[in-house]
Structure 1
Amino acid sequence: MLTRQRKQHLLELLKRDGQIVAKLLSEQLGLSEDTIRRDLRELAREGLLQRVHGGALPASPAMAPFAARQGISSDAKPAIGRAAAAMILPGQVVFIDGGTTAVQLVRQLPADLRATVVTHSPSIALELVEHAHVEVIMLGGRLFKHSIVGVGAAAIEAIGRVRADLYFMGVSGLHPEAGITTGDFEEAAVKRALSNAAATTVVLASPEKLNTASPYLIAPLAQVSSIVVNADVDDALLAPYRALGITVTLA
């Protein structure tokens, strides 16, 4: 089997099975593990999969810059935002992450809602400028232009001074084994700090993020209380998350 054919076969298996185990595949194909691992490394460099210990998982398309992500799952995100917005109770202090789905969340907040939103996202803060009854607290830090959010030591220090009721987290990847992941080391640290400072963490998961992984771990799924997903997601895809005791809200 030529290298190109072998790589195409690997991608087809990944799409079919949702993962690749290098040892098992080398036995099935009669190839060395080194050959399989080399192919996986090269495919990972092309952004076609995410390498993990022992094999590979599907790469998340949510690794694209903010502007490009606005066109991904554009039909699903408003519904997810609407369902998430309904979770916020009057008087609560809420962390809201950056990202295109989070923008949809704040656009769905009731006009009469009185609450406090704490965010490291200028995009989220701007969306709330005309919301008369929502107090907005912005966290500082270095602007991570890819996601348009603040990151770094200043952001994490500020987060440590807040105790929130809810945290609506945006992620690049969500996988039953790989946990919740994103594409930047510092951004992962900020998301982890936000989750640790909130009583409840809710993940906003548009369909393309389920069962995918990105390079940097935010936290294991045990950190997550609830996932908000689009209503037409296959129930079999959601079963592993429910089995972990996570509440799945269909939008």
Structure 2
Amino acid sequence: MLPAERRDFLLARLRDEGKIVAKDIAWELGIAEDNIRRDLRDLAAAGLLQRVYGGALPMAPAAADYATRIDVAPESKRRVAAAAAGLIRQGSTVLLDGGTTALAVVEALPADLEATIVTHSVTVAAALVTHPSVEVLVLGGRLFKHSAVTSGAATAEAARGVHADVFLLGVTGVHRQAGLTTGDSDEAAMKRTLASRAAETYVMASAEKIGVASPYVVLPLAEVSGVITDVAEDVPDLAGLSVPIIRTP
């Protein structure tokens, strides 16, 4: 099998099974495992999969930049956002992550909601300007333009002064083995800091985020209160998650 044919085979196996185990493929094809690992490196460099220890997982489409993500699964995000907004109680303090699903949460908030929303997202903060009764606290710091959020030491220090009831977390990948992942190490660290400041953390996971992975782990699935999604119950990638699933209406 030529190298190009082998890579096509690997991508087809990834689509069919949702993962690649390098040693199993090497045994199946009767070639050295190093050849498979080299193929996986090349495919990962081309943005076609996410390498993990021992093999590969599907690449998360949600890892694209903010402008590109706006057009990814908008209806799914609106359904997830509506369910997430329903978790916000009157008088509560909420940490709201950045991203396009978080922005959809703002659109789903009831007009009579009285709450405090703390965010490191400049787009979320701007969208909340017109809400009549939500107090807004913006965490300052270095602007990470890829996701339109602040991050770094100043943002983390500001977050340590917050005690929130709930954190609505956005990630780019939700996978039963890789956990909750995102595409930038500093952003992953910021999300962990925010999660540590809330009594409960819920993951907002529209359809394109289930069963895929990005390079940097945010949290293990066991450390969140639930995953909010509109993915059908019989989807294998969802059935394997060891965390409560909150269904959209």
Normalising by structure 2, we get a TM-score of 0.97
Correspondence for 1:250: 248
1:232 CA displacement:
4.1
Q: What is the distance in 1 between the residues matched to 2:69 and 2:243?
A: 29
Contact kept? 2:82, 2:248, Cα under 8 Å: no
- Work out the number of aligned pairs and report it: 249
Q: Provide the residue aligned with 1:152 in structure 2.
A: 152
Show the counterpart of 1:207. Answer: 207
Shift of residue 238 of structure 1?
A: 1.9
* Structure 2 residues without counterparts, runs of 5 or longer: none
The amino acid that maps onto 2:149 is: V
Answering whether residue 60 of structure 2 is matched by residue 57 of structure 1, we say: no
Question: Given the alignment of the two structures, is residue 4 of structure 1 paired with residue 30 of structure 2, yes or no?
Answer: no
Counterpart for residue 97 of structure 2 = 97
Q: CA deviation at 1:231?
A: 5.0
Question: 1:56-76 CA distances to partner (integer Å, 9 max, x unpaired)?
Answer: 010100111111101110111
Paired residue type of 2:173: G
Q: CA RMSD in A?
A: 1.1
* Aligned amino acid, residue 168 of structure 1: L
Residue 41, structure 1, aligned to residue 49, structure 2: no
Where in structure 1 are there 5+ consecutive unaligned residues?
Answer: none
User: Could you tell me how far apart the structure 1 residues matched to 2:238 and 2:230 are?
Assistant: 11
The Cα shift of 1:249 comes to 2.4
- 2: distance between equivalents of 1:234 and 1:124? 33
What amino acid is the match of 1:210? I
* Alignment correspondent of 2:71: 71
Match of 2:129 in 1: 129
State how 1:80-229 maps to structure 2 within 5 Å: 80-229=80-229
Contact kept, 8 Å, 1:200 with 1:225, in 2: the verdict is yes
Flag the 1:5–1:233 CA change in 2: closer, same or farther, 3 A. farther
Write the letter of the residue equivalent to 1:203. V
- The separation in 1 between residues aligned to 2:204 and 2:234, in whole angstroms, is 17
Aligned to 2:195, the other structure's residue is in SS state: helix
Is 1:226–1:249's contact at 8 Å kept on the other side of the alignment?
Answer: no
- How far, CA to CA, are the matches of 1:102 and 1:64 in structure 2? 16
- In the other structure, the counterpart of 1:23 is 23
Identity %: 50
Deviation of the 1:34 alpha carbon: 0.2
Secondary structure of 1:127's aligned partner? helix
How has the CA–CA distance of structure 1 residues 248 and 40 changed in structure 2, closer, same or farther, with 3 Å as cutoff? Answer: same
AA in 2 matched with 1:129: V
TM-score by length of 1: 0.96
